[in-house]
């Protein structure tokens, strides 16, 4: 058991018969009335974000979650297959539990988040930035710009598509932000 004084970003708790992670919180102490805590909570199972207000001092059940290092091996009809990097144990995870799975390539390191009490997989976290090769994009012509930032679609080696600047060409490696699903820079 914990109280609202223990709130921090990333804390996972049981709330309304589901697991929620605190995305944002703010302690508020008005001049009149009791103190309270405003929170934004993200459901670990559905990904839905809700806002909730807790009275200061309320007790909550903290859920223990563990992040474990895994490596993506391959995809088959059972789902996505991963190998633990220390024990070499292999697990299969449903595709719905992997956000931004179109940026996932074989051999890539990820973190799989488990509910420590039930040993069940909650979700899989890709690194924020991944380096991927451009397999197809239209050639960018000099003088095609009406403004300083003109983008064109590019298909990556994993099948994902992102918008890239005109100077990016086929077979170049680029850094992609998996959370914003956007181009960051060329990799040399």
| CATH number of the domain residue 141 falls in | 2.40.50.140
Pair (105, 142) in one structural domain: no
Pair (140, 182) in one structural domain: yes
Per the structure, the count of domains in the chain is: 3
Which residues, 6 or more positions from 140, have their beta carbon under 8 angstroms from its beta carbon?
Answer: 150, 152, 165, 166, 167, 168
pLDDT digits (tens, 9 = 90+) for 62-101: 999 899 999 999 999 989 999 999 999 999 999 988 888 8
Residue 146 has pLDDT above 80, yes or no: no
Pair (80, 93) in one structural domain: yes
Is residue 150 a contact partner of residue 144, using CB atoms and an 8 Å limit? yes
Residue 34 belongs to domain with CATH number: 2.30.30.30
In the chain, the N- to C-terminal Cα span, in Å, equals 50
Is residue 72 a contact partner of residue 108, using CB atoms and an 8 Å limit? yes
> pLDDT-based confidence at 147, cuts 50/70/90?
low
Whole-angstrom distance, CA of residue 89 vs CA of residue 87: 5
């Amino acid at each position: 058991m914990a109280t609202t004084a223990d709130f921090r970003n990333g804390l996972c708790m049981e709330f309304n018969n589901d697991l929620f992670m605190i995305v944002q919180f703010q302690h508020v102490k008005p001049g009149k009335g009791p103190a309270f805590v405003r929170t934004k909570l993200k459901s670990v199972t559905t990904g839905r974000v809700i806002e909730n207000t807790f009275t200061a001092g309320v007790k909550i059940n903290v859920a223990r979650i563990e992040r474990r290092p895994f490596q993506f091996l391959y995809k088959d009809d059972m789902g996505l297959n991963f190998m633990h990097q220390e024990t070499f144990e292999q697990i299969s995870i449903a595709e719905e539990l992997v956000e931004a799975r179109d940026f996932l390539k074989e051999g890539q390191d990820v973190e799989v988040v488990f509910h420590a009490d039930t040993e069940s997989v909650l979700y899989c976290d890709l690194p924020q930035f991944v380096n991927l090769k451009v397999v197809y994009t239209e050639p960018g012509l000099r003088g095609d710009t009406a403004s300083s930032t003109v983008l064109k679609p590019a298909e990556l080696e994993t099948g994902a598509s992102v918008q890239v600047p005109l100077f990016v060409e086929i077979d170049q490696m680029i850094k992609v932000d998996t959370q914003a699903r956007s181009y960051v820079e060329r990799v040399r």
